[in-house]
Amino acid sequence: MTVNIPTILRSGVRLPILGLGTWKSKPNEVATAVRVAINAGYRHIDTAWLYGNEAEVGQGVRDALSDGTVKRRDLFIVTKLWSTFHRPEDVKLGMSDSLDKLGLDYVDMYLMHGPPGFKGPNIRPTSESDYDDTDYVDTWKAMESLVDEGLTRSLGLSNFNSRQVDRVLHDCRIKPVVNQVELHPYLPQLDLIKYCQSKDVILTAYSPFGSTPDGGNYISSESRLLEDPVVVAMGKKYEKTPAQVLLRYHLERGLSVLAKSVTPARILQNLEVFDFSLTEDDINKLNSLNRNHRYVTWEYSRSHKYYPFDDQPRSAQ
């Protein structure tokens, strides 16, 4: 049985509120994960040039298209412009490389992965001399041409703070539909949510489970979100898993959320979040777990003039 995932309609774009994440999904497992997800009802698939797995994500998507499971227009494929393509003359190069790898003619949404630009060829800077100071507003303007050319249906931001979103909104011709940021009870970012909602920009929550243990920036074993006693107890109360509670926490508040898994049973489990509701009290209880903890810190761009997280306290590394 396939689950019908609700959508949010914004600026003519229908965003499915739950998407499959693919960061750190290995090339040899992600095509199957995408296939399992689409069969079960996922339509929103999130990848990025940075993840190095667009070819296999695209393989899973193309398999589902070629055997008639879905039509292209029913899918919502998102990828991201990496920071080494921020110079306006490089933006189309980044987009074309992603489309080639995905094996698609267009994506449904193209996000700027983050505000700081890097010179390359190092994917991530190893020193400040690798920083590029292209203004992300100029990058945005070059991204707008990609919509004109039909290479992406819509545009969005990722890892932008409210000041940075505001600058783009002030100068844009095509409005960002989403800002994709880290959000979970250890980093609720209520001010950023309030700001984006006041501007009609959808917040998409990433790392809802606290990201993957191998690359995650756990403070200690006590900071494993999926094992937090409050989250676990809430799961028992609603007869749901901690993961399902953590997804519902976002959906309940009108946000969209990305859940990464390559495990078929979890991909299915993460879809079973449309048959219960958290009370306002429980949402407040989850918000009160805040410890301003980021799992994804962009530490390598810490001294970049456009480093986004200065106005949001971070935990120690």
Per CB under 6 A, the list member of 34, 37, 42, 46 interacting with ligand NAP is 46
Per CB under 6 A, the list member of 82, 110, 136, 209 interacting with ligand NAP is 209
Does 118 sit near ligand NAP (CB under 6 A)? no
Nearer to ligand NAP, 263 or 292 (CB): 263
Task: Let me know if 51 is a catalytic residue.
Answer: yes
- The whole-angstrom separation of Cα 168 and Cα 145 is 15
Q: What's the min distance (Å) between Cβ of 302 and ligand NAP?
A: 15
Q: Tell me the helices (H) and strands (E) count for the chain, helix number first.
A: 10, 12
Does 270 sit near ligand NAP (CB under 6 A)? yes
Reported residue count of the chain is 317
Per CB under 6 A, the list member of 168, 201, 259, 273 interacting with ligand NAP is 259
For residue 290, the number of C-alpha atoms closer than 13 Å in the C-beta half-sphere is 14
Q: Provide the token pair at 303.
A: 């001294």
Nearer to ligand NAP, 38 or 258 (CB): 258
**Strand locations in the chain, DSSP E?**
7-10, 13-16, 18-21, 44-46, 76-81, 109-112, 117-118, 131-132, 155-158, 178-182, 202-206, 256-260
Q: Tell me which stretch binds ligand NAP (CB under 6 A): 62-70, 167-175, 253-261, 309-317.
A: 253-261
The single-letter DSSP state of residue 184 is B
The annotated binding site for substrate is made up of 113
**Count of positions on this chain that bind ligand NAP (CB under 6 A):** 28
What separation in angstroms does the CA of 204 have from each of 34, 86, 138?
A: 19, 22, 23
Per CB under 6 A, the list member of 17, 18, 22, 112 interacting with ligand NAP is 22
Residues in contact with ligand NAP by the rule CB under 6 A: 21-23, 46, 113, 158-159, 180, 206-212, 226, 241, 243, 258-263, 266, 269-270, 296
